[in-house]
Structure 1
Amino acid sequence: MGMNTTYTSFVAVGDSFTEGMSDELPDGTYRGWADLLAARLAARAPGFRYANLAVRGKLIGQIVDEQVDAAAAMGADLVTLVGGLNDVLRPKCDVERVCGLLEEAVERLAPRCEQLVLMRSPGRRGPVLPRFVPRMERLFSVIDELAARHGAIVVDLFASETLGDPRMWAEDRLHLNAEGHRRVAEAVWQALGHEPEADWDAPLPPAIRPGWVARRTADARFAREHLGPWIGRRLTGRSSGDGRPPKRAELLPYEG
């Protein structure tokens, strides 16, 4: 299918980024960039269908085992695949294995959809990110190679200074906030060839650095509410997605 195509169906595959954390709605559920994109695509195509198989915490092996075949069987016009970042952000990671599993996922999905979209995931700028950049760059290089081989679109979010700004991230420092997800939806929309509705990479105004007390208070709250539980799950082999079903398991008409 060509650019600026009217897509009639969309399946999203991935982890918490695609599930929509932490773009929280008033009822406590998450929206996220994939839901926002689906709404915009649905406005152009009567009878538009949407499935979102993403589940928070999933590693690339789990995405391959639990989501890829289901997504391929749906035969959607458009499929997005974002995975592997949960793997490379772990203390120990076999990057080549992650890349191999991503390749397996792409090879299963690409022939079964009209357009596959891959992404260079965004990264929150800060003191922790640099230690993981070599792994991420290796993963991104494979994404570029797979896209060239299979005719997929790559949306480069990592290169965006704005999406790397901590103000685009939730308090857990792992997930984008509502504005971050809105910008990702716009980035994918434009990558599909649609007319821009906004500048998704527009710079933010200069940041006002909070005082020492405010920074220490935020750090303590982050450690207590987010970092501690995350470490606890790693030590016990648990995941935030254990037992959680896909967000939208079936390719059904989108009703907003």
Structure 2
Amino acid sequence: MEIPAKYASFVAIGDSFTEGMSDLRPDGSYRGWADLLAARLAARTPGFRYANLAVRGKLIGQIVDEQVDRAATMNADVVTLVGGLNDALRPKCDMGRVRGLLDEAVERLAPSCGRLVLMRSPGRNGPVMERFRPRMEELYTHIDAIAARHGALVVDLYGAPVLGDQRLWDVDRLHLTAEGHRRVAEAVWQTLGLAPEEDWREPLPPAVPAGWAARRTADLRFSREYLLPWIGRRLTGRSSGDGRPAKRPELLPYPVPFTGEPDGETAALS
């Protein structure tokens, strides 16, 4: 019987999806699938180390410029790269450039780590997403191709119908809930060849349809609190990640050792 691989270090790079939005801890910080995966890997490997270089709003060019070389120098056992979707969801996008930048990132990362993991990100169902679906599928077809060339693993979240269920998406309609992030962590865990703990693709129970008034109220809140600010940032060339540092920029032991004063990471794992 094959013995599961030992993963003693993990580096995650990308955008808000990997930063962990919108999986909030009690202290207001974000957890997310990468932190959940790191905690599980740490529980089976003494001395486990983890870095998360992801920053919300980053385009693939920014990920390449700001995160890829840093991740490559860490020589981690596992590196996850998720990027390009922010580009594909913009009104104007040069998909040829996005493909080229993904090629560059993988070419620099694959030789420097034990296992490179790419993803076909999930997509929430709805009319707005349908507009961009051809670009998303072009992106994911390319991810499959470069993974095959470089021996990388691919986690197919896009092909899982349950991750299109609106109940797994936060009110901003762009980021997964805590339950969604938990399922992604399990999906990556299994892709790494580790024993399944659940069926992350299992559908949610049948939903009770919301009434017309509740749907309109939700639509108005979404437009006021999320859509209009998002449009404003696009028109002014700003990003939600401008000036924001990586959530865990160094490859350090994880979880943080308990020192008597509980912090967000340690409390979340207790």
Gaps of 5+ in 1: none
In 2, Cα distance between equivalents of 1:194 and 1:12 = 18
State the percentage of identical aligned residues: 76
The letter for the 2-side match of 1:151 is G
- Equivalent residue for 1:77? 77
- Equivalent residue for 2:260? none
Q: Is residue 26 of structure 2 the alignment partner of residue 65 of structure 1?
A: no
- Equivalent residue for 2:8? 8
Q: Cα deviation per residue 1:55-79 (whole Å; 9 max; x = unaligned)? A: 0000000000000000000110100
- Equivalent residue for 2:262? none
- Equivalent residue for 1:117? 117
- Equivalent residue for 2:30? 30
- Equivalent residue for 2:208? 208
Q: Is residue 124 of structure 2 the alignment partner of residue 101 of structure 1?
A: no
- Counterparts of 1:48-59 in structure 2 under 5 Å? 48-59=48-59
Question: TM-score with structure 2 length normalisation?
Answer: 0.93
The letter for the 2-side match of 1:44 is R
In 1, Cα distance between equivalents of 2:33 and 2:110 = 21
In 2, Cα distance between equivalents of 1:127 and 1:60 = 25
The letter for the 2-side match of 1:58 is K
| SS state at 1:163 partner | helix
Q: Is residue 149 of structure 2 the alignment partner of residue 157 of structure 1?
A: no
Q: In angstroms, what is the RMSD of aligned CA positions?
A: 1.0
Distance 1:108 1:3, change over 3 A: farther
Equivalent pairs, count: 255
- Equivalent residue for 2:196? 196
In 1, Cα distance between equivalents of 2:39 and 2:47 = 12
In 2, Cα distance between equivalents of 1:40 and 1:5 = 14
How far did 1:39 drift? 0.3
The letter for the 2-side match of 1:177 is T
Contact 1:3 1:193 in 2 (8 A): no
Q: Cα deviation per residue 1:183-235 (whole Å; 9 max; x = unaligned)? A: 00000000111111111010111111111100000000111111111111111
- Equivalent residue for 2:222? 222
In 2, Cα distance between equivalents of 1:114 and 1:107 = 14
Contact 1:3 1:192 in 2 (8 A): no
Contact 1:3 1:194 in 2 (8 A): no
Gaps of 5+ in 2: 256-265
Which runs of structure 1 show a deviation greater than 2 angstroms over 4 or more consecutive aligned residues?
Answer: none
How far did 1:3 drift? 7.9
In 1, Cα distance between equivalents of 2:170 and 2:131 = 21
The letter for the 2-side match of 1:212 is W
- Equivalent residue for 2:238? 238
| SS state at 2:118 partner | strand
In 1, Cα distance between equivalents of 2:120 and 2:170 = 19
Q: Is residue 92 of structure 2 the alignment partner of residue 92 of structure 1?
A: yes
In 2, Cα distance between equivalents of 1:126 and 1:134 = 14
How far did 1:4 drift? 2.7
Contact 1:80 1:118 in 2 (8 A): yes
In 2, Cα distance between equivalents of 1:233 and 1:240 = 8
How far did 1:129 drift? 1.5
Question: TM-score with structure 1 length normalisation?
Answer: 0.98
| SS state at 1:43 partner | helix
In 2, Cα distance between equivalents of 1:43 and 1:57 = 31
How far did 1:254 drift? 0.5
Q: Cα deviation per residue 1:28-77 (whole Å; 9 max; x = unaligned)? A: 10000000000000011100000000000000000000000000001101
In 2, Cα distance between equivalents of 1:137 and 1:50 = 31
Contact 1:57 1:239 in 2 (8 A): yes
- Equivalent residue for 1:250? 250
| SS state at 1:128 partner | helix
In 1, Cα distance between equivalents of 2:236 and 2:91 = 15
